């Protein structure tokens, strides 16, 4: 495994919970990994799977989707919709040579700044283990 | 001129926020103040609320005109166009009358200029002070210069002067010069000392030399007064009590006459303290006790100087006042009786409930891991002890705090969750009061599914054992057996007490307090204090949980808005018209990028010139400018200048804490004529603080900016808003107490109401009540209310009628009402469902068979009408929870325990020797109702507990009931022979199956209406424009019913108070040419905002109901449905920008 490899992570986070947690992690100066790009969405329920696929194809090594805890969605049930989509996507991705571990869904509540930092760190470590995304350079996709 | 507001809301906790928002959305200007430096009250400390065990506070934010308020986590911050929030602020004076109150507010300065503070934390790093942190309930320490709440927005450091050691290290460490300790202004701060003692003068001259204050010393009062009159540089007067020619009081009065704002400090001998204290009430700032010691005097004077120089006062004129001061938690250390610390509270393993909650919080001392505060070991066994400081006559707390039972259960569940079920949890309780909507279910789940152990007993003490490693809890079982158990941790469910300084506050506000120190409230109007025009929200009048606090707050807002309306408080004050922005949709995007360079960390880690060069190369960026400090006025002016020069049609600002800029972007939009939807602020500072490696921060900053550029390129310039004309009248279904109260509340504000009642008379269930525990007459109240409703010119009452059909959406419903005169159509803007409930019919235990068996309500009626002679009775038995809280009805009916107490007290009053036996499971009397339970026990009623699996058995001998049950105290079967058996039959909601279809609403599993959110939107249906109240919402007593009805009315007024409802910025729309009518979006919409119009062959979006969640856009297979601001195109560019490596 290449020790120099620093994965680039795209995180689709919901405005109400995870974005708040990320902001808290930032303002509390919790050490944060580089190459994490946050895309704020109103709700994880609006994260179209094509955004995730597009991110992977455009060079992201991993995509994190993170929203409110089950039952806490500001828009009632958007996070359940996200869960279904990510689950399906995880089924499909390996058929295209993309490890399903590259797409991950988590719940991080607004007050859980530390949880957000831990989630991101774990995810980055997992992706570092996996190595760079190679599928997009292959002809399959 | 005094600044004018519709209302002043005191206390920015959950109650204050709800009341302020409710008033603000109906168009009233609100001043929201809090004496703490943060908003959110106790909820800023609590991360988890049942039943979801997370937070959902953001659901309180307005659903309509969302653009006028903040749209992010409410615990972080709150903005609203109509709300001015003033923190660290208290009411100094309140004068005037309803409709025209004069308020003066005093604000403590944080001593750190919030426009300069970049929250870098350098000041806290050097501060040598350590005091217990309020935010972490004392579990951690903080410095004197600190962040009050880590997650607040805007989040600036504040200087706690009381604990400051005056080392001034923070001042030197601050990179932006935000800490202003007024060093240079000292030479202009002239101090006048009036004292005959030459020693005082020498000493003061000596020490004040060092502090640089110019000093003027005189020996006589006359000289002092003359000097004050002639020299206007004097900023402080120190007056001794030993002057000869006039009293110190006289000097004080004369000084204040000459300059009403001058601070006068009295220097008194020990023997003169009482006179000095009296002078403080006459206007002196404070008093000092002689002899003055430099060690204490110098810091005192220095701090006083900084307070005088920095603190501000403001005078307001308001129409009404809402008090939402909340409560304080009982402190187990402070025992007014001076008793021993029986709970071993000093032990690190003994925590209060709030401390335990902090321990579980991610921002708490352990980062959310459940570790013992003593030695950071894993916790294995935790005990909760209920009613610490509540239900305790000896501690002047003959009331139930009402919140502790549920928060202890929740904490036990959270502890289980935090340890994956490993921790053993036990709750010791007296009565488990689960009498709210869904509470009993939550308890059952905790007990039976999560394995939380509930023990009905009260441990007498907590004693450290095993060298203080463990805690021994001893308790007595019902059978008299003494049990001893050891725990690692004990959590004390410390109850609610009036907020600190309540007596002084009550004096300032002119309020009466009740015997427990809470505000005295009026019967049938639990939002009304003893002073007209001053209302109580949240738990100010009685300890309440979140959902009841929220209801109470809306009720208080309703009362306040009525005053504002009646007195026409804001007449003549025109609200600013919505600005119209030029349409730039046809122009190519030209983006002005402003980078804030106020914080030196950016310059240190990022090559600004290179960044600026790279950003200029990004497509559609017309100019990159560096701005000194965007958060200051000058910085803002620079951006305005840049905008004028380069004429951009998008503006991007790179700064810190983007949330804080939301209100300012609107101002910028007004001044440069650009829609704020075309502006954005991104955080470019966080990477510079947390990333160490070379060049990395620059990469991150570039990515953040270019992602924002990509988003702005595709931002939708908002077209002219679509509006709905509001039909400004209400339909109220149900003519009981709730329906009538809601009708009155709406009609009094000048809107028409159609009140539909299915029975032939108004009144409903409340008409069956004859007496109340507080001695008030419910019958008289109801009759007056019915009279008012029937005579009200704005209310049309339709009896013996029902709603046949209701179509439309918020602001414009069309319904048909069928009555004896036929069907007639109605247009209305809102609907309120107050369909009420009824006494449950139980045909058991001889009810309806034997005359001696009756329900509590029937007994009350027989006692009130004199049918039953209490003197002739020889014994009465009562059984509580008859078919409540079991498999038939998994909820507590809430009204039966007070009803039972009412009957017990009436019977005992008429026949003190009458034996009364009450079989009960838990006595559910929250709040001050507890005192009647105490009275009933004192009067000699015997309460016998029973378990649901061993219910009392009822047999009959000669038509008289014989009750056999297990008495847990005697541990034996008892047989009670009584003349009368009275059953608590409970309360059921009325059958509303037809209405569910008519209005498109839902009920929960118990048949009560399903609200949008149990805690945060308790009287709203998910479908906008329809509200619920009264017993159809949940079992409620009369006061609570009235509060919920007023709350529902206030929510409804939100819609009725506007002529048009405008569309939001972020809503979904359909591109019909791409739409294949698959209707996937209709099913995906959680708000029912989409319908398919079969005639037109189109999907129609109701833009008022749409909340902009984007679920529809994600399911649309053709990208026909789009969400403004989140189109596929811009989203794809954002993704590209995020992944692009800078050239």
User: Where exactly are the structural domains of chain B?
Assistant: 3-107+318-327+499-566, 122-173, 184-294, 330-494, 591-713, 728-836+990-1060, 840-987, 1067-1123
Closest CA to B294 of B385, B381, B211: B211
Question: Looking at the domain B728-836+990-1060, which fold is it?
Answer: FAD/NAD(P)-binding domain (3.50.50)
Percent of chain A whose predicted confidence (pLDDT) is above 90: 62
- Integer Rg of chain A from CA: 15
Residue A134 CB coordination number (10 Å): 12
Nearest residue in A to B699, CA atom: A35
Contact flag A15-B71 (C-beta cutoff 8 Å): yes
B420 Cβ neighbours under 8 A, 6+ residues apart: none
Over residues B624-649, the pLDDT tens digits come to 999 887 877 788 888 999 998 999 99
Cα(first)–Cα(last) distance of chain A, in Å?
A: 24
d(CA B65, CA B717): 17
d(CA B863, CA B877): 15
The DSSP symbol for B262 reads: -
Q: Where are the beta strands (DSSP E) in B325-380?
A: 328-329, 350-352
Cβ(B343)–Cβ(B386) below 8 Å: no
Q: Report whether pLDDT(B964) > 90.
A: yes
- Integer Rg of chain B from CA: 33
Cβ(B328)–Cβ(B373) below 8 Å: no
Q: For B1014, how many CA atoms within 13 A lie in the half-sphere containing its CB?
A: 18
- Residue B798's pLDDT is what? 95
SS3 helix, strand, coil % of chain A, rounded to 5?
Answer: 45, 15, 40
Closest CA to B116 of B659, B633, B665: B633
Three-state DSSP state, B673: coil
Q: Kindly state the tokens that stand for A96.
A: 């295209």
Nearest residue in A to B688, CA atom: A29
d(CA B680, CA B1137): 16
Vertex B138: Cα angle to B133 and B143 (nearest 5):
25
Closest CA to B1019 of B993, B992, B1054: B1054
Three-state DSSP state, B1004: coil
Nearest residue in B to A18, CA atom: B73
Q: Report whether pLDDT(A5) > 90.
A: no
B177 Cβ neighbours under 8 A, 6+ residues apart: B116
Q: Report whether pLDDT(B337) > 60.
A: no
Predicted ipTM of the assembly: 0.94
Three-state DSSP state, B901: helix
Q: Which chain A residues contact residue B1109 at CB under 8 A?
A: 42-43, 45-46, 74-75, 78
Show which of residues 623-682 on chain B sit within 8 Å of chain A, judged by CB atoms.
657, 659
The DSSP symbol for B951 reads: P
Q: Kindly state the tokens that stand for A18.
A: 């995870």
A15 Cβ neighbours under 8 A, 6+ residues apart: A40, A41, A42, A43, A74, B71, B72
d(CA B406, CA B432): 8
pLDDT band at A1 (very low <50, low <70, confident <90, very high): very low
Q: Where are the beta strands (DSSP E) in B125-233?
A: 131-132, 141-142, 145-146, 158-159, 190-194, 215-218
User: Where exactly are the structural domains of chain A?
Assistant: 9-137
DSSP-H helix ranges across B627-723: 633-646, 662-672, 686-690, 696-713
Q: Report whether pLDDT(B694) > 80.
A: no
Q: Give the residue, A67 or B152, on which the prediction is more confident.
A: A67
Q: Report whether pLDDT(B18) > 90.
A: yes
Rounded alpha-carbon distances, angstroms, from residue B800 to B240, B816, B827, B832, B883: 79, 14, 20, 18, 32
Of B363, B1111, B1134, the CB nearest to A43: B1111
d(CA B981, CA B954): 9
Contact flag B703-A54 (C-beta cutoff 8 Å): no
Over residues B47-63, the pLDDT tens digits come to 888 888 888 889 899 88
pLDDT band at B266 (very low <50, low <70, confident <90, very high): very high
Architecture of the domain defined by A9-137: 3-Layer(aba) Sandwich (3.40)
Q: Does B365 touch chain A (CB under 8 A)?
A: no
- Residue B181's pLDDT is what? 86
Over residues B734-747, the pLDDT tens digits come to 999 999 999 999 99
CATH 3.30.70.20 fits B1067-1123, yes or no: yes
Over residues B650-679, the pLDDT tens digits come to 999 998 878 778 788 888 888 888 888 889
Q: Report whether pLDDT(A2) > 50.
A: no
Residue B935 CB coordination number (10 Å): 16
Over residues B1009-1021, the pLDDT tens digits come to 999 999 999 999 9
Mean pLDDT of all residues in B261-288: 89
Handedness of CA B285, B289, B290, B294 (dihedral sign): negative
Show which of residues 115-134 on chain B sit within 8 Å of chain A, judged by CB atoms.
119, 121
- Residue at token pair 């996070």: A79
- Residue B633's pLDDT is what? 76
Contact flag A43-B690 (C-beta cutoff 8 Å): no
Is B728-836+990-1060 in the same CATH topology as B184-294?
Answer: no
Over residues B63-118, the pLDDT tens digits come to 887 878 888 888 888 989 899 999 999 999 999 999 999 999 999 999 998 877 87
Cα(first)–Cα(last) distance of chain B, in Å?
A: 57
Over residues B519-567, the pLDDT tens digits come to 999 999 999 999 999 999 999 999 999 999 999 999 999 999 999 998 8
Mean pLDDT of all residues in B316-326: 95
Of A43, A74, A113, the CB nearest to B362: A113
Architecture of the domain defined by B184-294: 3-Layer(aba) Sandwich (3.40)
Over residues B817-836, the pLDDT tens digits come to 999 989 999 999 999 999 99
Q: In this structure, which CATH number among 3.40.50.11860, 1.10.1240.10, 3.50.50.60, 2.40.10.10 belongs to the domain B3-107+318-327+499-566?
A: 3.50.50.60
- Residue B245's pLDDT is what? 84
Of B47, B155, B703, the CB nearest to A27: B155
Q: Report whether pLDDT(B571) > 70.
A: no
d(CA B237, CA B223): 12
Three-state DSSP state, B739: helix
**Exposure of A3 by Cβ count < 10 A (0-12 exposed, 13-18 middle, 19+ buried)?**
exposed
Mean pLDDT of all residues in B688-710: 83
Residue B268 CB coordination number (10 Å): 21
Q: In this structure, which CATH number among 3.40.50, 1.10.260, 2.40.50, 1.10.20 belongs to the domain B591-713?
A: 3.40.50
Contact flag A15-B72 (C-beta cutoff 8 Å): yes
Q: Which chain B residues contact residue A60 at CB under 8 A?
A: 1135, 1138-1139
Class for domain B330-494, per CATH?
alpha beta
A53 Cβ neighbours under 8 A, 6+ residues apart: A89
Q: Does B1128 touch chain A (CB under 8 A)?
A: yes
Q: Which chain A residues contact residue B59 at CB under 8 A?
A: 74
**Exposure of B1138 by Cβ count < 10 A (0-12 exposed, 13-18 middle, 19+ buried)?**
buried
Burial B952-989 (b: 16+ CB within 10 A, else e): bebeeeeebbbbebbbbeeeeebebebebbbbbbbbbb
d(CA B896, CA B898): 6
CATH code: domain B840-987 is 3.50.50.60
- Which residues face A14 on adjacent strands? A41
Maximum Cα–Cα distance for chain A, whole Å? Answer: 44
**Exposure of B527 by Cβ count < 10 A (0-12 exposed, 13-18 middle, 19+ buried)?**
buried
- Residue A140's pLDDT is what? 47
Picking from A21, A63, A110, A136 by the largest number of B CB atoms within 10 A of its own CB, the best residue to mutate is A110
Cβ(B109)–Cβ(B121) below 8 Å: no
The alpha-carbon gap from B76 to the nearest alpha carbon of chain A, in Å, equals 8
d(CA A51, CA A53): 5
Over residues B597-615, the pLDDT tens digits come to 877 778 888 888 888 999 9
Over residues B1062-1074, the pLDDT tens digits come to 767 778 889 999 9
Percent of chain B whose predicted confidence (pLDDT) is above 90: 58
d(CA B414, CA B419): 9
């Amino acid at each position: 495994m290449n020790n120099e490899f620093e994965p680039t992570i795209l995180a689709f986070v919901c405005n109400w919970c995870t974005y708040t947690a990320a902001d808290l992690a930032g303002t509390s100066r919790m050490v944060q990994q580089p190459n994490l790009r946050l895309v704020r969405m109103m709700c994880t329920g609006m994260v179209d799977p094509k955004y995730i696929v597009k991110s992977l194809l455009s060079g992201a090594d991993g995509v994190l989707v993170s929203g409110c805890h089950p039952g806490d969605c500001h828009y009632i049930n958007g996070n359940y919709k996200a869960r279904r989509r990510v689950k399906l996507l995880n089924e499909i991705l390996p058929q295209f040579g993309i490890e399903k571990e590259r797409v991950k869904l988590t719940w991080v509540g607004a007050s859980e700044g530390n949880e957000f930092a831990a989630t991101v760190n774990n995810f980055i470590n997992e992706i570092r283990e996996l190595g760079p995304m190679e599928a997009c350079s292959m002809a399959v996709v | 001129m005094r600044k004018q507001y519709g209302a002043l809301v005191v206390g920015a906790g959950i109650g204050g926020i709800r009341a302020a928002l409710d008033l603000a959305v109906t168009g009233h200007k609100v001043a929201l103040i809090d004496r703490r430096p943060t908003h959110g009250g106790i909820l800023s400390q609590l991360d988890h609320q049942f039943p979801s065990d997370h937070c959902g506070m953001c659901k309180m934010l307005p659903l309509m005109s969302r653009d006028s308020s903040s749209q992010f986590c409410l615990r972080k911050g709150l903005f609203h166009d109509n709300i001015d929030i003033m923190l660290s602020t208290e009411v100094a004076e309140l004068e005037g009358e309803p409709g025209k109150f004069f308020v003066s507010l005093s604000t403590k300065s944080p001593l750190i200029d919030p426009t300069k503070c970049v929250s870098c934390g350098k000041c806290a790093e050097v501060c040598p002070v350590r005091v217990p942190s309020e935010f972490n309930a004392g579990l951690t320490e903080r410095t004197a210069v600190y962040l009050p709440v880590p997650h607040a927005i805007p989040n600036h450091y504040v200087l706690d002067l009381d604990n400051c050691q005056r080392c001034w290290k923070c001042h030197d460490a601050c990179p932006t010069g935000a800490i202003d300790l007024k060093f240079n202004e000292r030479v202009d701060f002239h101090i006048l000392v009036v004292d005959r003692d030459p020693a005082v003068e020498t000493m003061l001259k000596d020490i004040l030399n060092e502090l640089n204050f110019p000093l003027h010393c005189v020996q006589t009062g006359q000289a002092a007064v003359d000097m004050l009159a002639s020299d206007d540089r004097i900023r402080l007067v120190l007056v001794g009590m030993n002057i000869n020619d006039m009293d110190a009081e006289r000097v004080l009065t004369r000084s204040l006459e000459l300059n009403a704002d001058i601070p006068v400090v009295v220097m008194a001998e020990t023997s003169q303290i009482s006179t000095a204290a009296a002078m403080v009430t006459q206007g002196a700032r404070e008093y000092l006790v002689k002899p003055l010691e430099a060690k204490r005097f110098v810091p005192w004077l220095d701090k006083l100087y900084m307070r005088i120089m920095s603190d501000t006062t403001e005078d307001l004129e308001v129409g009404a006042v809402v008090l939402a001061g909340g409560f304080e938690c009982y402190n187990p250390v402070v025992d007014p009786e001076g008793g021993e610390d029986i709970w071993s509270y000093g032990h690190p393993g003994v925590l209060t409930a709030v401390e335990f909650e902090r321990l579980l919080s991610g921002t708490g001392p352990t980062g959310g891991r459940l570790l013992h505060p003593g030695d950071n070991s894993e916790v294995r066994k935790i005990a909760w002890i209920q009613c610490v400081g509540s239900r305790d006559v000896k501690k002047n707390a003959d009331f139930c705090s009402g919140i502790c039972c549920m928060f202890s259960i929740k904490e036990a569940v959270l502890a289980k969750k935090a340890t994956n079920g490993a921790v053993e949890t036990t709750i010791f309780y007296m009565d488990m009061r689960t009498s709210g909507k869904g509470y009993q279910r939550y308890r059952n789940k905790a007990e039976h599914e999560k394995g939380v152990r509930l023990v009905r007993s009260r441990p007498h003490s907590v004693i450290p054992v095993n060298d203080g490693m463990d805690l021994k809890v001893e308790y007595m079982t019902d059978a008299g057996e003494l049990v001893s158990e050891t725990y690692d941790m004990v959590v004390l469910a410390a109850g609610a007490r009036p907020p600190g300084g309540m007596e002084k506050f009550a004096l300032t506000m002119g309020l009466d307090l009740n015997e427990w120190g809470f505000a005295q409230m009026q019967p049938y109007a639990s939002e009304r204090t003893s002073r007209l025009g001053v209302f109580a929200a949240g738990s100010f009048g009685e300890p309440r949980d979140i959902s009841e606090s929220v209801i109470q707050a809306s009720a208080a807002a309703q009362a306040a808005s009525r005053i504002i309306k009646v007195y026409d408080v804001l007449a003549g004050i025109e609200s600013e018209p919505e600005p119209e922005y030029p349409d730039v949709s046809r122009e190519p995007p030209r983006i002005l990028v402003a980078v804030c360079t106020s914080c030196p960390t950016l310059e240190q880690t990022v090559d600004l010139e290179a960044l600026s060069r790279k950003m200029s190369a990004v497509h559609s960026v017309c100019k990159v400018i560096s701005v000194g400090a965007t958060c200051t006025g000058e910085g803002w002016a620079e951006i305005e200048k840049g905008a004028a020069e380069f004429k951009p049609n998008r503006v991007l600002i790179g700064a810190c804490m983007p949330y804080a800029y939301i209100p300012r972007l609107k101002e910028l939009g007004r001044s440069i004529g650009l829609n704020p939807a075309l502006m954005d602020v991104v955080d470019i500072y966080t990477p510079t603080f947390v990333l160490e490696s070379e060049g990395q921060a620059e990469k991150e900053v570039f990515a953040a900016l270019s992602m924002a550029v990509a988003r702005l390129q595709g931002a939708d310039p908002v077209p002219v808003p679509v509006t709905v004309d509001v039909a400004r009248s209400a339909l109220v279904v149900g003519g009981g107490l709730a329906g009538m109260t809601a009708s009155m509340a709406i009609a009094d504000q000048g809107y028409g109401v159609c009140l539909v009642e299915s029975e032939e008379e108004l009144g409903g269930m409340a008409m069956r009540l004859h007496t109340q525990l507080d001695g008030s007459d419910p019958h008289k109240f109801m009759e007056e209310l019915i009279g008012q409703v029937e005579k009200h010119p704005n209310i049309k009452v339709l009896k013996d009628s029902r709603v046949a059909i209701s179509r439309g959406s918020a602001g414009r419903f069309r319904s048909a009402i069928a009555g004896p005169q036929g069907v007639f159509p109605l247009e209305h803007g809102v609907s309120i469902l107050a369909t009420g409930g009824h006494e449950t019919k139980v045909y058991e235990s001889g009810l309806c068979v034997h005359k001696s068996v009756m329900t509590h309500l029937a007994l009350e009626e027989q006692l009130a009408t004199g049918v039953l002679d209490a003197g002739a009775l020889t014994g009465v038995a009562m059984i509580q929870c008859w078919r409540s809280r079991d498999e038939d009805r998994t909820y507590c009916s809430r009204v039966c325990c007070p009803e039972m107490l009412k009957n017990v007290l009436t019977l005992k009053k008429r026949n003190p020797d009458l034996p009364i036996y009450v079989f009960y499971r838990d006595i559910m009397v929250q709040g001050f109702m507890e005192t009647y339970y105490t009275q009933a026990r004192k009067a000699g009623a015997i309460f016998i507990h029973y378990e649901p699996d061993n219910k009392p058995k009822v047999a009959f001998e000669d038509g008289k009931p014989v009750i056999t049950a297990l008495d847990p105290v005697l541990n034996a079967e008892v047989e009670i022979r009584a003349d009368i058996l009275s059953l608590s039959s409970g309360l059921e909601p009325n059958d509303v199956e037809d209405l569910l279809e008519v209005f498109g609403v839902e009920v929960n599993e118990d048949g009560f209406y399903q609200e949008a959110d149990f805690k945060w939107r308790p009287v709203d249906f998910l479908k906008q424009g329809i509200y619920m109240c009264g017993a159809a919402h949940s079992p409620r007593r009369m006061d609570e019913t009235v509060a919920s009805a007023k709350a529902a009315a206030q929510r409804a007024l939100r819609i009725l108070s506007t002529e048009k409802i405008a569309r939001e910025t972020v809503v979904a729309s359909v591109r019909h040419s791409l739409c294949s009518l698959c209707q996937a979006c209709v099913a995906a919409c959680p708000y029912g905002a989409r319908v398919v119009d079969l005639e037109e062959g189109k999907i129609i979006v109701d833009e008022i109901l749409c909340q902009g969640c984007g679920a529809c856009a994600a399911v649309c297979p053709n990208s026909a449905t789009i969400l403004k601001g989140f189109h596929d195109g811009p989203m794809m560019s954002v993704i590209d920008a995020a992944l692009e490596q800078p050239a």
